[in-house]
Every structure is written in structure tokens, then in C-alpha cells.
Structure 1
Amino acid sequence: MTAKKPPMGWNSWNTFGEHINEKLIMEMADQLVNDGYKDAGYEYVIIDDCWSLKERVDGKLVPDPKLFPSGMKALSDYIHSKGLKFGMYSCAGTKTCAGYPSSYGHEFEDARQFAEWGVDYLKYDFCNFPVSGDAKNAYLTMAMALRHTGREILFAACNWGKYDPSGWMRSRGAHTYRSTGDIFDVPRSYQDIFKQQVENIEGNAPGCYNDLDMLIVGMHGKGNVGIGGCSDEQYLQHFAMWSFLTSPLIIGADIRSIDAPNKATLLNKGLIAINQDEECCPAFLIENVGDKHYTLCKILSGNRVAIGFFNIGEPTEGPCHMSICFDDLGIHSESGLFLKITDAITGEELGTFQDAYTAVLRGCQSQVVIAELVKPEK
């Protein structure tokens, strides 16, 4: 099955935008391997917009030879030689978002071209889509074209949440679908996406996932979508949210120069394990207090659940007590069961609790815990 779990990888857009080339992509592939990202699960190296010539040649998409002198097949082979997978970009409209040739009306020939290049992942955008066009059919057409190639290619739809894609993208062959507008490197951006989608993720399941957009962790206001940046604590909250909501985890920062705290966030074993848990159950909302204090649950494989506490108040706000009654997890006191709780981020064992658990968090802080059902010791 394609996309049995949410895809993980790196994409060029957030930091580099149009400033991409063959050398850069190869260096990012090297970095994924050398710095432990591949071992952590990040496997896709994805070139976003601006890779081609401005016009087709003999009806075909052609990589800009100044940027990619060896061609896409050679670049794909290099990425595959590292044990990684190769991703590319196209668009369902008449032009890509940056004004380059798109796949509208050329779906089957472009899909064949991508397959010949060894593409494993296609991000499919939605800019410049004809007013009279049928979006559902456009994504279905490319899905069928990719399948016709005989190559397994993950189809990452990106229509920014237009026409409520959660209701139809899976049936039109997409493996992931963007559900909001683009993310930017400021706290309000990732927090707004979280608030918009926190009750729209219960359909996440193997084969198709709600993509909350690429990660901004570690960008610090630099690059193509950089504005004011976030604190390290906010980047950790952002990553914890994406992990908990079973979103694809696609790095957007320059991993050649990322600082140690944010590299540690991107490699956090506990949060990645929740995102990639073999059960692949979607999270569900337990409580939302004032659009600032969110408590969620996610069933995990085995005898476990994850509980997420997210305080998106201002960093200057004082501590807030966020409690969950185990009744809300379906664990009633009559069961005689307790929950053994471990902090997913730090690995610290927090103790065994009956009936309830409370997290104490300042604004922009989060706590994610793993709770295992246990019988009380006699």
C-alpha cells in the first residue's frame, strides 16, 4: 500500500523557493543520510516549483539545464543510491504557481515522464486552475495517469483546502491532501492551521492523510516563507501538533545549518513514533477551552493511548492547569485500571494515575504523553 503511514521527507520550497539547483538537492540528500534524518524516517527528497524551462520542448517538460545540468534521471539515481526517494512538483492549473509549465491537459504524458525519471512522489498544486474546470476530475485524472505508469508514486494533492478535500480526495486517488492555505514562519500561522484542522482529522487513515503543510521548524525567519520566525519552544509545539494530528512530516528548513535544539525536535523519537504508529488511528479532540487550550487523544498500537495538551496562549501568559478525566478516554473508574504515563518528548516516566491527569503549561507550551493501561499493584 502506498502511504501506509504519513510520508516524511524534505522539500525545497519553504527555504529556497525558486533558488534551487542540482547541487543543493544532492547536498540535502547527503544531509538526510549523514545527520540521522533518514534513520529517523525522513525518506523523500522533494523538488518544488521552478525546476523546468519556462516552456515545453516538443510537448515535454524539460528541466532547466542551467540548474540541473545532469538531468532529472541522474539526480533521481543519486538520491536512490542514498536509500532515499525522489519527489517532484507539478500543478493542476494552466501554469504552476511560479508561472512554469504545468500538467493541465498533459497528465498522462507528464506522468510517464515522471516515471521514466524515477519519481516516487508528486506534489500536485492548484494555481491557475480554470474557472470552468472540475477540480475533483483534475486530481482524479492525474491519479489515474500516475497509476497507469506502473510505478508506485505517492500522489500529494495540494489544493489548499478548496472544496472540502477531506470529503473526496481519498476517493480521487490522492495519498495526502493539503487542507489549508500555505504556512509561514510565524507562530500565528501554524497555530491557525492547527485550530482550523483539529476537528477535521478523524478521517486520517492508511492510504490518505490530511497534510497540514510543510514544517517551519528551525527556519528562524529565514528563507522563502520566513517572516518573523518562532521560538524554539514554539517550533517544538508546532512539530508536536503535526505529529499528533498524523500529518505528513516534510521538513522545510535548511538542514545543513539548522541549530541543535531544532534538529533535536525534528529527530524526536517519541513524537515521530506517535506520528508513525502502526495503528495509524486519527487523533480526536477531547476539549477546547477558549480556542487556546486544547486536549486531544490518539489511540496507539498495543495497550496505549497518546494524550496531547497544547496551550497556544501568548508566551507571557502564566501557567494553566489542563486536566483530562480518564472517563473521556473510555477508561471508567469501575474498570479498576490505572494509566502509567510517560512524557513522549523527554522519555521521563511521570508515574501511575487513577481517574485523571493534569498538565501545567504556560502559553506556547505543550505536553504529549503516552499512557499505558495497567492494573494497580497489590
Structure 2
Amino acid sequence: MGWNSWNTFMDKIDEKTIMETADAMVNQGLLKAGYEYLVIDDSWAERERDAEGRLKVNYTKFPNGMKAVADYVHSKGLKFGMYSCAGVRTCMCYPGSFGHEFQDARFFADIGVDYLKYDYCFRPALADGPMLYNRMGMALRAAGRDILFSACNWGKDNTTEWIRSTGAHMFRSTTDIMDSYQSMKNIALSQLSNLPYTAPGCFNDLDMLIVGLHGKGCMALGADGCSDIEYRQHFAFWCMLSAPLMIGADVRDLSPDTLALLTNRELLAIDQDPEVRPPYIHGQALQRPECAQEHIVLLKHLADGNYAAGYFNFGDQEANIPSEFYNWGIDISSGCSLQFTDVFTGEDMGIFRDFYRARVPAHDCRLYKVRLIWTGRPASRQL
């Protein structure tokens, strides 16, 4: 959990902005909620390395050097992240780390970096993903500092088959998210076949959050972004999949509603649940994902013995989305019922023994904490 500069600032980053962001993460309660990493994305370096092949910090943007920035971020109780690329150039055409992996890993360690985002632009034609990411994974392990390795190869080269072997702690399985509902929806639906691949030690990264952007920054595609309801669906879906939560909005200027969503304790507990179990897809979507383009129900086992149930309406019309508990493994004759509590409002929705139907507006969701109740006697079928 943390914040990344790209979605709002793209290449327009500087020392003052980063320090103000660190202050805001603390003052807004984001650090207290668990957002501990502050990550500077692409465009912090000079265009070329020095005579010894070392990366050079852009002192126009960071006049006191990157070590001073890292020290300031650490002084706030945050962890500090930076960016590089597996190719010869970064995506913005700054020096990449190909051929300099061990040198660059030591550079990051000396600065005090705790997190490295490692992109996939301008890779040599004959170099494949497993080799490129394993090189940096080995370099980081040899650098003498504990650095979270965030592999960002956009799901290319069958990432899920090999990424854990590289030492990566999280991996991108998607293209870049844009601040539009269709972009978020496409990414969400693409993950129905990737649910098993998140696990402790190596998490499936669905890309940074667009929550709160509202058309600001570099990911808006000339539009106004999403509505607050659409951002809520986006955030809830990421939480149900135990995805890394990297804020992309300007945290110095978050609305009260955006801040409340990002710091919702029940939602964050679902995302950060220590068992990291993938959700079970209810009903038809389990056998035929191509049929689940509008209405999806997910059930997630939680470490405390309870469950999270999410009802997602990706369609353009309000819908009643049903779930029969038989499909969750609870037969009507079992003597068990389920108690539903709304995660967003805290409202007790009641106890149900056969099915639950959620009324969900277009582009919205309903998310519940679900508790199994044992009555000790079979129940008659609910009509």
C-alpha cells in the first residue's frame, strides 16, 4: 500500500512535490491506514549516465539530491520507492538498467530505497522477461538492503508462469489503467482467469488506483474520469482480489469522500487479509467467464473465519444480482445461515439461509462482511 507519482504528475515531478506529498500522506491519515510507500516513478534521472556508467539524479528537479529526499520521506515514517526499467531506456527515454543491474541496485540501496518499480520498455529483442527480471531480482538481493521488487512487465511473456522465481514481490498482469470506467472494467474482467496467482510473497498487481483522479493528471484521455460510485466499485474490486493498493491521485487535494473510501477500515482489512485467498466466482461466471461481462458475485474466505461477498454491476442499468448459497457450498438442509453486514455503511442486512439478492445501481457494487451462523437444525427451503 502506498502512493505513486505517475498517474497525477507523469514526468513533472520535483523535490518540493514529493516532500509535500509525504507530509500529506501523514497529515491525511493515509500512513496510519497502511499506505506506507511513497514511490517516484519515471523521469527523475538525467538523460545519460556519467563516465563510470552510474545513474545521475536530475538536480534541477531534486536540488538537494535523492538521498535528501529519501531521508525526508523516512523521517515521516514512510518508506521510499524509485523507478527503473528492464530495457536500455525507461518508458520516458531515460537510462534503463539493462546491463547495469548490479550497479543500479547498489545505487538504489545507497540512497535508501525500500521499493523498486521495474518497467519493461525498450528491452533488447533477444532478451526475454524471465531473464531480465531474474537479473534485477538477483541484483537487489545482493545490494545489502531489503527492497520490495515490483515487476511491471504488463502481463507479457506468460508472466504468471515464471514471475515468482525472479524474487519479485508483486507483478503487473495488466496494461496501463486509464482514468475511465471502460479501462477499469476491462482490467477487472481480465482478472477472472488470474485469481489463483496472488499469494503471500508475490501479489498480482492490477495497476495503480485511479480513485479520486476525476480527470486530473496524465491518465484521463481528455475526459472527466470516473464518478465517485465508479471509483468505489474499482476500489472494492481491487480489495476483493488482495491487489496492491497504490494511490495515483494527488493526496494533497483529496475530497472527503475519496479519503473516506481510501481509508475504509473494513475494505482495507479485506484487501490485506493475511490468508490472501482468491475469491470464489459465483455461479455461471465460474464455468463461463465470457458470460460474466456485467454481473459478478465474488465470495472471499477471510482469516477470521468470516467471508467477504461482493456484488458487482458492470452493466449500464440497475440490476438485482442473485446468489444462491448452494453454489457457495451451503445446502438448505445444512442448518446454516449467513448474516450480511454492509461494509460501506455498517448496516446489518439480516440473516439469510438460502439465497441473497443485491440491488445494485449501474457501475456500482455492494460489499458485505458475511458470518456463518450454525443453527443446529435443518431449515425449510426459503421461497
Residue 85 of structure 1 is matched in structure 2 by 79
What is the identity, as a one-letter code, of the residue corresponding to 1:241?
F
Q: Which residue matches 1:39?
A: 32
1:146 Cα deviation after fit: 0.4
One-letter amino acid of the structure 2 residue matched with residue 234 of structure 1: E
Task: Tell me which residue corresponds to 1:112.
Answer: 106
Q: State the AA in 1 paired with 2:349.
A: L
- Give the corresponding residue for 1:360: 359
Aligned position for 1:51: 44
Report if aligned partners of 2:199, 2:276 keep a CA contact under 8 Å in 1.
yes
Q: Which amino acid aligns with 1:363?
A: A
SS in 1 for 2:127: coil
Say if 1:205 and 1:281, in contact at 8 Å, map to a contact too: yes
From 237, 240, 253, the equivalent of 2:236 is 240
Give the alignment of 1:330-369 within 5 angstroms: 330-369=329-368
Aligned-partner residue type, residue 25 of structure 1: I
> Contact 2:335 / 2:376 at 8 angstroms: preserved in 1?
no
Identity across aligned pairs (percent)? 50
Cα distance in 1, alignment partners of residues 155 and 357 from structure 2: 35
- Bigger relative contact order, structure 1 or 2 (CA pairs below 8 A, ≥6 apart): 1
Q: Which moved more, 1:284-293 or 1:230-239?
A: 284-293
Q: Look up the match of 2:319.
A: 320
Distance in 2 between residues matched to 1:34 and 1:259, nearest whole Å = 14
Are the equivalent residues in 1 in contact too, given 2:310–2:366 (CA < 8 A)? yes
- Deviations 1:133-165 (Å, cap 9, x if unpaired)? 121111001001001112111100000110121
Conserved 8 A contact 1:92-1:103: yes
Give the structure 2 partner of residue 175 of structure 1: 169
The 2-side partners of 1:127 and 1:363 are apart by 37
1:68 paired to 2:62 = yes
TM norm structure 2: 0.94
Residue identity opposite 2:333 in structure 1: E
TM-score by length of 1: 0.95
Contact 1:186 1:230 in 2 (8 A): yes
User: 2:217 is aligned with what amino acid?
Assistant: G
* Alpha-carbon distance between aligned partners in 1 of 2:57 and 2:343, rounded to the nearest angstrom: 43
Aligned to 2:16: 23
Counterpart-to-counterpart distance in 2, 1:232 and 1:110 = 40
Q: How does 1:149-168 map to 2 (within 5 A)?
A: 149-168=143-162
> Given residue 370 of structure 2, which amino acid in structure 1 is its aligned partner?
A
Q: Does the 8 A contact of 2:242 with 2:273 survive in 1?
A: no
Does the CA contact (< 8 Å) of 1:155 and 1:176 recur in 2? yes
Partner of residue 202 from structure 1, selected from 166, 175, 196: 196
Cα separation, 2, equivalents of 1:377 and 1:349: 22
Matched residue count: 368
Report if aligned partners of 1:340, 1:372 keep a CA contact under 8 Å in 2: yes
1:338–1:373 contact (8 Å) kept in structure 2: yes
CA contact (8 A) 2:3 2:246 kept: yes
CA–CA separation in structure 2 for the residues paired with 1:167 and 1:328: 30
Select the residue among 140, 146, 156 that pairs with 1:146: 140
The answer for the alignment partner of 1:191 in structure 2 is 185
Amino acid at match of 2:302: L
Residue 297 (structure 1) aligns with: 299
Counterpart Cα distance in 2 of 1:144 and 1:99:
24
Of the structure 1 ranges 223-232 and 325-334, higher mean CA displacement relative to structure 2 is found in: 325-334
Paired residue type of 1:213 = D
Return the offset for 1:347. 1.6
Q: Give 2:371's aligned residue.
A: 372
Question: Distance in 2 between the 1:21 and 1:377 partners?
Answer: 63
Structure 1, unmatched stretches of 5+, are 1-7
- Residue among 206, 217, 220 paired with 1:212: 206
Cα 1:73/1:110, change in 2 over 3 Å? same
2:274 corresponds to which letter in structure 1?
A: E
Q: Helix, strand or coil for the counterpart of 2:371?
A: strand
Backbone CA RMSD of aligned residues: 1.3
The structure where helix makes up a greater share of residues is: 2
After superposition, give the CA deviation of every residue in 1:47-70 in whole Å (9 maximum; x if it has no partner).
000000000012111110011111
User: What are the ranges of 5 or more consecutive residues in structure 2 without an aligned counterpart?
Assistant: 286-290, 378-383
Which amino acid is the alignment partner of residue 42 of structure 1?
A: Y
Alignment partners' CA distance in 1, 2:147 and 2:138: 11
Contact 1:199/1:284 (<8 A) preserved: no
Q: Deviations over 1:214-248 (max 9, x none)?
A: 00111111111123201110011111111111110
How far did 1:335 drift?
Answer: 2.4
Letter in 1 for 2:345: T
Runs of 4 or more consecutive aligned structure 1 residues displaced over 3 Å after TM superposition: 287-290
